[in-house]
Structure 1
Amino acid sequence: LVYDDVSMFLDTNANNSNIYKDDVLKEKLHLMKELDEILTIKRKNRGTIDFELPEIDISFNKYGEVENISKKTNGVANRIIESFMVCANEVVGKHFGNEDIPIIYRLHPKPTEEKLEILKNYLRHLNINIQSIDQITPKFLSNIIEKFKDSNKSSFVNYTILRSMSKAQYSSNIDIHFGLATFLYCHFTSPIRRYADLTVHRTLKNYLHANNETTKNYLDYLDITSNHINDTEIIAIDAERKLEDIKKVEFMKNKIGQVFNGIIVSVTSFGIFVQLDNTVEGLGKYEDIADDYYEFNEQTLTAVGKRSRNVFDIGMEIEIIVAKVNEISNEIYFYLNR
């Protein structure tokens, strides 16, 4: 089965399609979709935070040069598998927790009070007034993301909430997973590409074979292993982000002078960040805006023209011209059109 084919079959409800002819297979695929919908509702009701963050899709030509950058779209088939994987991770984690058998868990601590206070102030700009940071639960944040899902402020909302989050980590200790609004969660479904999953598989294998002595000796290394893969995960994430930035700059350096449409995702004291439809983000400096002198208003997170009173606000659609790129710092700069 191919993800795209399954998504096409389920999205169009193409029972008579030539994609699949096996009636048993068709029924199973529809049952999988139905189960995913049940699991999704269950997770949503308990408060799982489902971030709406665009993934990047980079294509290359035969010479290894960046040919195109676009927003990756995942179909219903991808969502089904992801849903089932989360469910499997929960089941395995809860089983070991209930059996009091130590494994490597995937923890996501609650955000710090300092970060929640910052988030509280940002949310005020969206007319969301919070009396106490105790109100900020996973379900509360999930509802905010859902509220702005189809809004131009969606990107700002998602990234603002994401920046307030603590970093997820691996540990042999038992604690919450704040983002998933659950307890006793582990990574189990990807032992080929994640070492944490492989350690859980090894523990499960020893448990199933009642090899308690081997399990005991092996578990002595859980803390060391957790610390190591936490460190390597940070390195891997940083490398991935840097590579994406490099490729975005490589792509946009050939677009100097071209016009694009984008959405303002951040207004700061030094300029305005605009995100294009292809996920590329660039900075428009106030000094490069010819029609007026713009001042940053920290209270409203806007930039206001001193003479014209024109306003740049988060979520505003705007036309930009690619001004330049810096291949040393991997930064992209725009001219903002009014």
Structure 2
Amino acid sequence: MSDKLGETFEGTIASVTQFGLFVRLDDFYVEGLVHVTSLPSDYYHYEAEKHRLKGERTGTTYRLGDGLTVQVARVDMDDRKIDFGLADDKPRPRRQPRKRRGESGGPKAAAATDKQPTRRGPRRTRNGPRKPSAKKG
């Protein structure tokens, strides 16, 4: 990889740690580190249970499985370590976000908005009408 210094590659986030992202390149079976200090200017919080780094100011999130375009920054053949830098600031989402109920804009949602609200009778209590309290003594 030392001959690839400065080149850009597509990769996938293979691991997220508090000190950065390990990225596995798509074209080669090579993994390297994008250190948290080389991420765009922000303070990143590590959320271990969600496997992500999230920017405090910008809200930019780097998650396990997200795609990235990285540039080879440093290769250490003795220690067998590769450092990457980001070639673009935004992660590629791994999938389309799911739509929530009612956001589809389909015919059911449109038909529901055209209907007039139905009138309902007075509410009934769960326990029925109240009984008069017993007199003491």
With the length of structure 2 as denominator, give the TM-score of the two structures. Answer: 0.60
Structure 1 residue 290: deviation in Å?
A: 3.1
Distance 1:315 1:300 in 2: 12
Q: How does 1:68-147 map to 2 (within 5 A)?
A: none
Q: 1:146-201 CA distances to partner (integer Å, 9 max, x unpaired)?
A: xxxxxxxxxxxxxxxxxxxxxxxxxxxxxxxxxxxxxxxxxxxxxxxxxxxxxxxx
> By percentage of residues, which structure has more strand?
2
Asked if 1:335 is matched to 2:85, the reply is yes
C-alpha distance in structure 2 between counterparts of 1:324 and 1:281, whole Å: 13
Q: What are the ranges of 5 or more consecutive residues in structure 1 without an aligned counterpart?
A: 1-251
Max Rg structure: 2
CA deviation profile, 1:100-155 (whole Å, cap 9, x unmatched): xxxxxxxxxxxxxxxxxxxxxxxxxxxxxxxxxxxxxxxxxxxxxxxxxxxxxxxx
Give 2:11's aligned residue: 262
Give structure 2 stretches of 5+ with no counterpart.
90-137
Q: How far does residue 280 in structure 1 lie from its aligned partner after superposition?
A: 0.8
Deviating beyond 2 angstroms after TM superposition, the runs of 4 or more aligned structure 1 residues are: none
2:48 to 295, 298, 308: 298
From 39, 46, 49, the counterpart of 1:289: 39
Q: Quote the offset at 1:291 in angstroms.
A: 2.9
1:308 and 1:290 map into 2 onto residues whose CA distance is 10
Paired with 2:70 and 2:45, the residues of 1 have a C-alpha distance of: 19
- How far the C-alpha of 1:330 sits from its partner, in A, is 0.6
Indicate the residue corresponding to 1:276 in structure 2. 25
TM-score by length of 1: 0.25
Task: Report the identity percentage.
Answer: 36
**CA–CA distance in 1 between the matches of 2:55 and 2:47?**
11
Please give the secondary structure, in 2, of the residue aligned with 1:299: helix
Higher relative contact order (CA 8 A, sep 6+): 2
Residue 61 of structure 2 is aligned to residue 311 of structure 1: yes
Question: Matched residue of 2:79: which SS?
Answer: coil
SS at match of 2:3: helix
Superposition deviation, residue 306 in structure 1: 1.2
Kindly state the Cα deviation for residue 301 of structure 1 after the two structures are TM-superposed.
1.1
Instruction: Tell me, in whole angstroms, the C-alpha distance in 2 between the residues paired with 1:263 and 1:281.
Output: 9
* Corresponding position of 1:18: none
Please report how far the alpha carbon of residue 284 of structure 1 lies from its aligned counterpart in structure 2 after TM superposition. Answer: 0.4
Aligned Cα root-mean-square deviation (Å) = 1.1
Aligned with 2:49: secondary structure?
coil
Greater helix share, 1 or 2? 1
Aligned residue pairs, count: 87
- The aligned amino acid for 1:304 is K
Tell me the distance in 2 between the aligned counterparts of 1:335 and 1:311. Answer: 16
Partners of 1:273 and 1:333 in 2: how far apart? 9
